[in-house]
Structure 1
Amino acid sequence: MRIAVVTVVMVMCATVAHADVRPQRDFNLQKFAGKWYRVGLAYDSPKFVPYRDKLKASVGIITVLPNGNANLTMWDATPAGCRIKVYQYEKTNVAGQFTYFSTRHNMVKDITVVSTNYTDYALVIKHKVFHREYTQVALYGRSHTVRNSVIQRFRAFALSKGFSSDSILTPPPAENCPPSASGH
């Protein structure tokens, strides 16, 4: 009984903490589709600290599915080489908010597109509750570089969500990931 009450309280607190995150007004998935580079990341997981200096900008392609869901194909440069993952984002009843099932953590996570102009940048927040509440803020750009004003907006948003300056990164581009031969 005690565990159930604690779990309910944790979920309620996480919902309240996440409730202030609103998606892009009039979000348009068709305009959001296409190639994006993850050029900024705010993440405070203690397990992530040893990898901070090794992080490279990732490349992803959002593909809209006929049912209104989307797939994100993401290439990440890792010490073991260039890794590809496909995430299946399911639409919710709120445009700009999605869920996906994380096979790594065996749980559903929330994705919200907080702000985008569709042609240059997007601020995206990923939220989950897993032993404690975790949030990740990502800055995406249509190219490897974004304007300094966009980076400052990303930093201000991450700081407003409780991230320390040390947990906010703007990694360099990855070399040959995805491999040039892939055509992406």
Structure 2
Amino acid sequence: MRTTAVAVVMVMVCMRMARADVKPQKDFSLQRFAGKWYRMGLAYDSPGFAPFRDKLKASMGVITALPSGNVNLTMWEATPLGCQVKMYHYEKTSVPGQFTYFSTRHNMVKDITVVDTNYTDYALVLKHKVFNREYTQVALYARSHSVRNNVIQKFKALALSQGFPAESILTPPPTENCPPSGTPR
């Protein structure tokens, strides 16, 4: 029994250390990062999200870099109510590639870190918040609906290193007509 408790504590310490060791993309360039991205992968273990895992579809977002260094993100997501558009405003921090934003849904500030990107094909992004317990999301973004297998493996490895169980790491299918055809992007 005592060995199990020690093992659990060690795993929790290692998970916290892994999160603390996540650094943003070296020499991050917001101008190169701006533009259209598709969320092609998501690792999320919130108990409230579990019933919806099999319904998740790839979503599309547009990152607009502001002169201040802040970011506006417009996301289109397919929901049971249809294609929904959401707007986010990310505040720059003193560290390039790290942002914060205020979540009106959770009434709290969340941290966003662009962990890895080559700007032309993919980006790995970590979202972290503390809300009754720590929650983290790892997302894989791509410039198109096709993602190379080695990038998917890199995304899965990052998610596993953050303590996500394999069943919470998703690569959802593309969404049809979301955003609707003719929507300015």
TM norm structure 1: 0.90
Structure 1 residues 86-136: Cα deviation after superposition (integer angstroms, max 9, x where no partner): 100000000000000000000000000000000000000000000000000
Offset at residue 15 of structure 1 (A): 7.7
Partner of 1:135: 136
Once the two structures are TM-superposed, the CA of residue 76 in structure 1 deviates from its matched residue by: 0.5
Report the Cα offset of residue 183 of structure 1: 3.4
Match of 1:77 in 2: 78
1:107 equivalent to 2:108? Answer yes
User: Which residue is 2:58 aligned to?
Assistant: 57
Q: Secondary structure at the match of 1:173?
A: coil
For 1:77 and 1:153, locate their aligned partners in 2 and report how far apart those are by CA, in whole Å.
26
Q: When the two structures are superposed, what TM-score results if normalisation uses the length of structure 2?
A: 0.90
Tell me which residue corresponds to 1:180.
181
- How big is the shift at 1:28? 0.2
Residue 123 of structure 1: aligned partner: 124
Q: CA deviation at 1:18?
A: 3.4
What is the number of residues matched between the two proteins? Answer: 172
Structure-2 change in CA distance of 1:123 and 1:177 (3 Å): same
Equivalent AA in structure 2 for residue 20 of structure 1? D
In structure 1, C-alpha distance between the alignment counterparts of 2:125 and 2:18, rounded to whole Å: 16
Render the CA deviation track for 1:2-36: whole Å, top value 9, x for unaligned. xxxxxxxxxxx898663211000000000000000
The list of structure 1 runs, each at least 4 consecutive aligned residues, that deviate by more than 4 angstroms after superposition, is 13-17
Structure 1 residues 148 and 15: CA distance shift in structure 2, 3 A: closer
- In the other structure, the counterpart of 1:165 is 166
**What is the RMSD computed on CA atoms of the aligned residues?**
1.4
Structure 2 partner of 1:34 = 35
Give unmatched runs, 5+ long, in structure 2.
1-12
Residue identity in the other structure for 1:70: V
